[in-house]
Structure formats: structure tokens, C-alpha cells
A and B are shown apart, each in its own frame.
Chain A
């Protein structure tokens, strides 16, 4: 469903991704763990074109959306088509990034209405169902600033789902939350996973990774050092740096 080949990403002289090969199958939940600055978020952002790769290939549902040879500035793929394919990816950010000037429901329905030109009534019907799913239909007319962090993140999940994505990307979705609010967001994510959504989750929640992930990927210094089932990676980490990292966080 997603395939990444030899992806490198540099910001100026700083090499953030160093030849990443990575794939995700349909229905799979993959957690990416690793120390901060290891390139986890950048990898996620390269998937939906918030960052463009320096070199390498990215496929979404067998369609090539990035194809760069080292040293060449331009991707060989059609940008418009790539952007269209990327609408199959939904993304949830660490800091929610809800639109503060819109109510909760407006946040959820703005993209189907703008991008898919869906009539308002239809979008609102879908939006309400999604808000119900994340348990916030009673907050539909509130502005985001009136909600707690956990509620905001649940709205952000509903907003991403409103575009009916095939794959959901989560970029440290609980890192900006007070500890007591983490659970409500994780339970929405667990529900999504149980419904068979393909998910890539960058997280520091090892409990979530253990319980929900089919596969855990450990990244450090722009490389994937190890990937395995959660039971295997947490019980028998093979790489020294994985051991050191897990020792610190567990």
C-alpha cells in the first residue's frame, strides 16, 4: 500500500533521512519509535508531501508520487496527480492544528466541501457521524479554543477521516497532551485500528505500540535500524541502539 525506496532527505547540510526502505501493507498498523531527531516525523511528512524528498522513490497504492535521483532538483512525477493521490492519506499532528476560526463541525466538513465540492448538507451528515464516532457530537458548535487538548485531537482525527482516507498518519498524536488526556485519544485510535484502518503512528506511547501495532519500526539517526513484531522488538531487541533506547523509555 505504501512503499518507500532509498529515501534521503536533507535540510541544507543536515541529513535527516539516510536511505530509508520501508513498506506498509493494507490494514497494517505500524508504529515508528525512536529518539527525537531520528527522522520519524520527517519520514511521515515525506509520505504526504509536506516535505519533498532529496532523493528516492515513494509509492502510495502502487502510484509513484516521488521519484528523485540524487543531484536532480525536480521530481519526475506529475505534481497534480501526486497531490490527488495524497488525499488518500489523512494526517493527525502533534499540535492538532485545528482551524481556530471555525467551529468543530466546520473544521470537519471544510475539506470535503472545498476539495471534493461536497454539498454542505451531505458533508454535515458525514461530519456529525464522525464526531459521534470520536464522542464529540455535543461539541459541534464550539470553537476549538473551548476544548481540552484531548478533545481537540479527537476533532483533528474526525477532520482527517472526513476525507475518507485509506491510510492514516499520526505524528506523535499524544505528545502535546496532559497525561490524563492521552487515553481518550489512544482509545479512538485503537477503535480505528480495530476497524482495519491502515495506520502509521509515530509515537512515544510504548504501551500503545505493544498493544495495537502489528509491526514496530525503530529509527535512529535517519535510518531504520530494526523492525519486528512488538512482542519480539520489546522482548528481544537485536540492535544495541534499540536496546539502549528501550531501556531508557520502558
Chain B
């Protein structure tokens, strides 16, 4: 393996990294929003809402992510006549978002439940509704407790996003495989691993910084 070969592959690897990053960041944001509703649903006293959210989490945590990706890309469009044309990028995004939402829901639920009951009581005694108390008192307090597990989930998702190479998304791993096949030189996986490590390290640092910022009051 010549250094030159690696240097030649760098633009492609960087492009792949950008796609990996896009997939991860967008999915984690959607996952977080959907996850919050799922978490509130799991905390709800309404039995129907609660069981629906339980079912969702059970389904998405209990089946492989790769299967979910295949299902959404290949099987889901078949339910429509004529079959839906789903592109690879939205399919990948949907699969990763839906999957991370299930994990996020459990992270959020645990964080919300870990807040002292007295906080909700004080908010209610001050006249706040359940929604106001959640928004102003409970959820803001859960931020700091959320950061470590969310950071963890983010890094898992960043690595798991490699699975969407199976439906033809040219993210970092797929790009590398293509280059390896084309040049017959598999050492190119080394710089690929380095790219993943750089990405995960950057985000580990960002999440550590965030955690410090949110612990000012403790």
C-alpha cells in the first residue's frame, strides 16, 4: 500500500464521512423528538397510549437494525399499489430514526423518572399544569442526566449507520469497500477505521463539554 493510494482515496473517504455524519445527526434528532413522545407515552396513565408506546419500543429494540433497514427499503413499499418508490437516503434515515427513537425513549424515560417527585409536587402546588411542569421543571433538569447516555447512543448510531451500506448508501464504510474492491488493496480499511475513530472522539469530547456546561447548578 502506497501512501499515495491512501491520499488519492481521501476525498472519497471524506465524502463518505460527511454522509455518515449527516445520517447520524439527522437520525438522532428525529429519534430524540419521537423518543420524547414515546417516553411521555410510557409515563402516561392512559393505558392505550402507554401500551402503544411499549409495543413500539419492544418491536424496535427486539429486532436487528439491519432487518429494520431491509424491511423499510424492500418490504414497506410493497404494501402500496403501485409499489412506493423509496429512495435509499430517506429509507436509511427513516430506519435509523425509528430505531434510535426506541432507545432514546428508554433513556428519556429513565432520566425523567430519576427526577425527585417533590419537583413535580412543588410545580403543581404552584399552579402549574402537568405539561407546564414537564416543560419548565422536569425535562430541563433531566438534560444533564441525559447527556452521558445520549452521547453513548449517538456513538452507537454513528457506527451502526454503516449498516445502511447494505442498501447501497455510499457512506464511509461502503466507499471504503468500493475502493478496496477497485484497487484490490484492503489496507484502505485502516484509514476508514481512523475516520470513524476521529468522528467518535470529536463527539465524545463535545458531549463531555456539554455535560460540564449543564452541571453548573450542582
Contacts and interface: CB of A to CB of B under 8 A. Distances in A.
B15 interface: no
B204 interface: no
A50 B123 CA distance: 11
Contacts of B116: 97
A101 interface: yes
Contact of B217 (A87, A90, A101, A115): A101
Interface of A: 48-50, 83, 86-87, 89-91, 93, 95, 97-102, 110-111, 114-115, 143-145, 156, 159-160, 163
* Residues of B in contact with A, size category: 20 to 34
A83 B125 CA distance: 9
Given A111-B128, A115-B127, A99 B121 contact: no
Interface of B: 116, 118-119, 121-129, 132, 136-137, 140-141, 216-218
Contact of A101 (B121, B127, B128, B141): B141
A170 B122 CA distance: 12
A158 to B, nearest CB: 12
Nearest to B129: A83
B127 A110 contact: no
Q: 5 closest pairs, A vs B, by CB? A: A97-B122, A87-B127, A111-B126, A97-B118, A91-B125
A100 B218 contact: yes
Nearest to B143: A101
A87 B124 CA distance: 9
Contact of A143 (B118, B127, B141, B217): B217
